[in-house]
Amino acid sequence: MAELWLLLAACALATYFWRWLGVLISGRLDGESEAFAWVTCVAYAMIAGLVARILVLPTGALAEASLLERASGSAAALVAYFWLTRRNLFAGVAAGAIAIWLLKLAALQS
Amino acid sequence: MLIAGYLGFGALAAAQGIPLWVAVASTAAIWALPGQLIFVEMHALAAPLLATVLAVMLSSARFLPMTLMLMPEMRDPRHRAWTYYVVAQLLSLSGWTMAVARFPDLPRRERLGWFYGFTLVLMGASALSSAAGYLGADRLTAEARLGLVFMAPMYYLLILLGGVRERSAALGLACGAIAGPLAYLATPAWSVVAGGLGGGTLAYLILRQARRHG
């Protein structure tokens, strides 16, 4: 338990580091530099990698849904977000959650 | 829209066995949903502390450019220097987006106060949502809980795909989406860091190559 709070504190500090650095050097860093471009790529790749991993190879509760169910839920979210609404984030997220819930209920009925 | 993400985060934290208070505290302490997802997921994988901290740190690197851009807009001789370091903790993607939109209409000396008010309300609502998602997850049927847990990855899938405006973002996302699961097969504990560094560096190299020949 104490270990978990320690981990949380370390993670909070790790996040605050960038905020602190940003205030410290605001106005001095070159936003066009190569190092900055690389950091941007890594940041995007890491978040995308995490989300892709959660959807393709989930652990915990999400592992109870099959790959097909997860793919259908994602498709419902994307359709609701990009085509049915004008990029309404709440509608998209809700559509995905409701789709996977209905699929699971249908699987139980059959 | 942030509410949906934090409802999902609360449900995910409950499913992964994180205590309620740690889940709610992480909303105020880390105040970055991707970092919080990494915190919860890597704890569930029993990843080494260093790997978790490194992954959280890399995932929140976006705060550097966000802070760099916003701080000069709020600076005013009337404010004490340390207040900027406090306000930096309150910065989030939603708060930043709203601030960029509102600041041109606000006199410079009022911006810091407005930002404090807006982001504190945002943080309070998000903390409540994480608690609601967490407590809701326990009281729902297994199928409905699955739907709630599914909200967090959906939120990011849509935010990431919906926010693509530059080639570097699109390429970083694509390379990361492939590298992340592959890295997980090789080394679950280091997968977030390895996938991010590998996929991101690949995206960066492709971009640099394209610029040279472009």
Give the span between the Cα atoms of B122 and B6, in whole angstroms.
11
Q: Which of B158, B192, B205 to mutate to test the interface with A (most CBs of A within 10 A)?
A: B158
Chain B's closest residue to A83, CA to CA, is: B162
B164-181 burial, b for 16+ CB within 10 Å, e for fewer? eeeebbebbbbbbbbbbb
Q: DSSP assignment of B55-92, as one string?
A: HHHHHTTTHHHHHHHHHHHH--TTS-THHHHHHHHH--
Closest CA to B36 of B125, B156, B119, B182: B156
- Taking an 8 Å cut-off on Cβ atoms, the answer to whether B154 and A74 are in contact is yes
Q: How far is CA B73 from CA A22, A45, B118, in A?
A: 13, 29, 16
pLDDT tens figures, B43-94: 998 889 999 999 999 888 878 877 877 888 888 888 888 899 999 999 987 7
Closest CA to A76 of A58, A98, A56: A98
Burial class (CB in 10 A: 0-12, 13-18, 19+), B213: exposed
pLDDT tens figures, B111-124: 999 999 999 999 99
Closest CA to A17 of B122, B59, B156: B59
Give SS3 for A75.
helix
Cα B168 to chain center, whole Å? 19
- For chain A, the distance separating the N- and C-terminal CA atoms, rounded to the nearest angstrom, is 42
- Taking an 8 Å cut-off on Cβ atoms, the answer to whether B146 and A37 are in contact is no
Average pLDDT, integer, range A61-82: 93
pLDDT tens figures, A10-48: 999 999 999 999 898 875 656 667 877 787 788 788 888
- Residues listed for chain A: 110
At residue A31, the pLDDT reads: 60
Closest CA to A48 of B149, B62, B12: B62
Average pLDDT, integer, range A69-87: 95
Q: Judge contact between B178 and B194, C-beta under 8 A.
A: no
- How many Cβ atoms sit within 10 Å of the Cβ of residue B84? 21
CA distance A73 to chain B (A): 8
Q: Which of residues 107-136 of B touch A (CB under 8 A)?
A: none
